Structure 1
Amino acid sequence: MTDSQERLVIFDFDGVLIDSENIALEELRNCICAHGVEIDLAETRARFLGRSVADHMAFITERTGQPCPESFRSDWHDRLYSRYRRELQLVHGAAETLSGLDEAGIPYAIATGGAVERLDVGLECAGLTSRFAGRAFSVELVARGKPAPDIFIYTSEQLRMSAANCLVVEDSPHGIRGAVAAGMQTVGFVGASHFAGIRYEATEILSAAGADLVVVDHAALLDRILRWAGGLSD
């Protein structure tokens, strides 16, 4: 058996712990359209799930031929945070997963592609601020966003854990690719509400990106993590 303290679970935040992606994608689409680019929700999801604000702004610049104004960032975040404060909830089963890891003594952290401010607001609205104190990290802390491995490497280094002993849980192919590039094991997660009706397709996409396994809910995720931490095979 492997000591669970020698393992680290790294969660993506949006769409894995908080059920935020439908909110984020809807408001991102609205903001992109307001800045002169027509895009539907399906394309917004395909292009931007797991990507950074810099990627959103580069897309607008590419489509319009004009620099994307810096106000885009604050406009989108204002829309997003307003809805977070009214609507944000944990993904079903996420609280039980975190409690299960606490009971098993398995350390965990967050590595998000979102901004520091977005991470802080999300943690506050979800009631997770104290739980993740000192172990929630934003892509703004590193040079490159997902699918580069930077945020995963940074997170493991901050918590003094080798990449080989980390398991990353991600809902986007960009995140899966980044974790694979970091030399970490991966679980794709399709249990949040933004995958309703498209879980089979999402599973195929995450598997193609390199996920070692894809799970459909937090009960299956916790079981997978406990088996991995205990050195058990599937």
Structure 2
Amino acid sequence: MIKAVIFDMDGVIVNSEAIYEQADKEIFKHYGINLSDEELQKYIGVNLLDIWTDLLSKYQLKDQYSDYQVEDFIEEHVHSHYEVLSESDELKLMPGIKDWFEYFKANNYKMIIASSSYAPIIELIYQKFGLDKYMEGYVDGNSVEKGKPEPEIFLKAAEKLQLKAEECLVIEDSEHGITAANKAGMKSIGFARNTDYNQDLSSADILIKEFNQQNLAKLNL
């Protein structure tokens, strides 16, 4: 029996993915890293530690930036994301998601965020959109040793809610996120929004393209 809903944040609760994209390109370019759109898509849903660990290995930046630790690259990246989000007029809740929040709240389902983003970013979104009215906190990407596609972040979210994995439903828009939900033993909804992001969500239990009443009825909760 499902008792809680675990939400990814970027691209599910808010339309932040496109806002991040340009900031990411600028950061990577600053360090001489030129990634194709296809390469960038592979990092969707992945936490910054795993991204920068991979990039530092591939591009041998450790020699050029010998006085840098991986945490320094991450800190700059988080700061950049925070700035673009806080200054953006485009940042909005996903259409229909608030109605879903209201439904889950009215029917006594617990809700929590499990996002690869770091705490300052989640806090920014949390406060801007008053998510404390619905969510019982969050688990951020910096609080787990192994990010998505590993299940740790979702298992921690369930633990925080004092629930079993099988009592949780995950809503995700990335292939890594759906894989993590499956590994955690949780039911999953793949949010295949109409974008250019090429994510394989076929292993999700349910696929949706909109947060509307028709799709909410499909959950059969």
TM-score higher than 0.5 here? yes
Equivalent residue for 1:41, pick from 22, 37, 41: 37
CA deviations over 1:63-107 (Å, ceiling 9, x no partner): 321226443223222222222123221111111111121122222
CA deviations over 1:141-193 (Å, ceiling 9, x no partner): 222111111111111111111111111111011111111011111110023xx
Equivalent residue for 1:223, pick from 212, 217, 220: 217
Q: Which runs of 4+ in 1 moved over 6 A?
A: none
Tell me the TM-score normalised to structure 1 length.
0.83
Task: Indicate the residue corresponding to 2:158 in structure 1.
Answer: 156
Task: Indicate the residue corresponding to 2:21 in structure 1.
Answer: 25
Distance 1:172 1:197 in 2: 12
Distance 1:175 1:150 in 2: 11
CA deviations over 1:101-154 (Å, ceiling 9, x no partner): 11222221111111122211222233324542x421113222211111111111
Tell me the TM-score normalised to structure 2 length.
0.87
Distance 1:114 1:28 in 2: 13
Contact kept? 1:85, 1:125, Cα under 8 Å: no
Distance 1:50 1:41 in 2: 15
For residues 17-166 of structure 1, what are the structure 2 equivalents within 5 Å?
17-45=13-41, 47-67=42-62, 69=68, 70-87=71-88, 88-132=91-135, 134-166=136-168
Deviates more, 1:107-116 or 1:77-86: 77-86
1:10 corresponds to 2:6: yes
Q: 1:152 to 1:221 in 2, by over 3 A?
A: farther
Bigger helix share: 1
Contact kept? 1:120, 1:129, Cα under 8 Å: no
Query: Pairwise CA RMSD of aligned residues?
Result: 2.0
Unaligned 5+ residue runs, structure 1? 230-234
Distance 2:139 2:56 in 1: 28
User: Aligned partner of 2:142: which letter?
Assistant: E
Query: What percentage of residue pairs aligned between the two structures are identical?
Result: 25
User: Aligned partner of 1:60: which letter?
Assistant: L
Distance 1:156 1:62 in 2: 33
Distance 1:213 1:26 in 2: 31
Contact kept? 2:111, 2:134, Cα under 8 Å: no
